[in-house]
Structure 1
C-alpha cells in the first residue's frame, strides 16, 4: 500500500502542528518498522527521522533522541559505561541487524506493546519522557507513559527524547529476555539495577515486560531489597514478590502460568548476575 500524503517538517513543532491540523489519521515516521507491517496504513505520514536522532551527554544525565536507532544505542560507549551495559545488552538482542539499523528507541516505546524490549531497561533507569504538544513541551516519568496494551498518553503528540539520570558509580545491571527464537518478540523480559555498599543493597530497580497490560516496575520487591544484605534468601524473596506483581495473559507465545513462574526465575537470575553470581 502506497503512502497517500507525505510531510517532511523542519522542526518537531511543525510536525505536531501538521499532525493536529491535517484531516484523517496520521502517523509519525522514524524507522518505520512497525508502520510497514501494519495492515492499515494512515492517511498521511509525518517524517521525523532527521529531527530527533541526537545522542548526548549533558550535566548529570544522558539524552536519547526518540529517532535514535537501536544500532546507535548498541554502539554508544558513554551510555554503556554509565549503565553497566544495560541498554547495550538490550539493543544487541533486539530483532535482526537490519531491523536494528532502522528501528528506533522512541518507536519501540510509542508502540506501547507490553513486550517492548526497551521499556524495561528504561524503567529500571528511571527514564523521563519529553513530549511535544501543540502548546509546548512536557516531561513525564516513563512509568506514566503507558496507558494499556498499544496505548500511551500520546494523542497526536510527539515523543521527543528520553532523559536518563546518570546512575551512581559502580551500579550493576542486567537485562534478560526469553523469546521463541533469538531476536524474537519477548515472551518475557526483565531488567534489574542494584546499587551496593559493603554487600548491602542500597537501591534496587526491577522492571518486567510481557507480563501485564503494560511494562511494570516490581515496587514491592524493590522496597524489600532496599537496605538489606545481598543474600540468596533476600534475592529469592524479591523474586517471589516480583512474581506476585505480574498479571500475565495466555497467548500464542506462552501461557499465563509460564509467564508468572518465569517472572520469578528471570528476576532471581538477573539479580544474582548483578551480584556476580552465575545463574
Structure 2
C-alpha cells in the first residue's frame, strides 16, 4: 500500500505540473489500481479528476481519449467501435472485471508502460500520438521507447479513419495477466503489428505490406518470468500474429 502526506486537486494542468515537479516523491493519481499494489510514500498526490480529461472526444479529424477515461469507457465507446471495430473492446475485456475497468484509467495504463499492458499493445497497432503537457505531442511508439520522466499525459490522439483491426492475447485463465499480446491493424494495405507482454513492454514490431509472422517473431526479444518461458512465448507469437492477420483480412 502507499501513504500520502498531502492531497491536491489542481484546477489547471500548469498547477498540476508545477506540483508534480516540485518534489521527487510527488505523483499523479490515475485510477490507483496498480499504485495501490506497491509500497511507497507519496509527498503530494495529484488528482486530475477536475481537469475534464475523462472524455472521448470527436474533434473532426481525430479522436482524443483523455487520460482519465476509464477502461470501461474504452470498452463500450461506440465512436471507437465505428472506427476501429472491436479492437479496444477485445483489448480490455479480459482485464480483471467490470468494476476494476470502471476505475482503471487510460492514462495510468499507458503512462506506466507496464509490460502486461493490453491498452498499450492495442494503441501501438494504430498511428496514435500521445500529448504530454511538458514535452508536447509524440508518436505512441516513440513514447513507449522513451525513458521515464516527470510529465503529465493529457490524452491519446487517434486518426479518425476506419481501420480493420484485431487484438489477440494468451492468458492461462480469464482475468489473469497476459502471457503474450498482439494487435494488428490495416488500412490501404499497410499493416501495423504490435506485440506485448514478452514480458517486456509492448513495441511496434512491424509496419508495412505483406507481413510474415515468423520473420516478425524472429526480430523480437523474449524473456522468461513466472508466467511463461521465453521459448513458450516465441512459439505462440507467430500463432497470435496469424490469427490477428486472418481476422483483419476477414474485416476488409
TM-score tier (shorter)? over 0.9
Q: Please name the residue that 2:179 is paired with.
A: 187
SS of equivalent to 2:36: helix
Runs (4+) of structure 1 exceeding 3 A deviation are none
TM-score, length basis structure 1: 0.84
| 1:153 Cα offset (Å) | 4.1
Between 1:158-167 and 1:45-54, the stretch displaced more is 45-54
RMSD between aligned residues: 1.8
> Larger C-alpha radius of gyration, 1 or 2?
1
CA contact (8 A) 1:24 1:44 kept: no
CA–CA distance in structure 1, aligned partners of residues 156 and 20 of structure 2: 21
Is residue 2:208 matched to residue 1:216? Answer: no
CA contact (8 A) 2:75 2:89 kept: yes
CA contact (8 A) 2:54 2:69 kept: yes
Q: How many residues align structurally?
A: 249
Q: Please name the residue that 2:26 is paired with.
A: 26
| 1:80 Cα offset (Å) | 0.7
SS of equivalent to 1:43: strand
Is residue 2:150 matched to residue 1:156? Answer: yes
CA contact (8 A) 1:74 1:92 kept: yes
CA–CA distance in structure 2, aligned partners of residues 129 and 40 of structure 1: 27
CA contact (8 A) 2:97 2:175 kept: yes
CA contact (8 A) 2:217 2:237 kept: yes
Q: Please name the residue that 2:83 is paired with.
A: 82
CA contact (8 A) 1:35 1:41 kept: no
Q: Please name the residue that 1:7 is paired with.
A: 8
CA contact (8 A) 2:87 2:166 kept: yes
5+ long unaligned stretches in structure 1: 197-201, 226-234
Alignment of 1:7-86 (within 5 A): 7-21=8-22, 23-51=23-51, 52-86=53-87
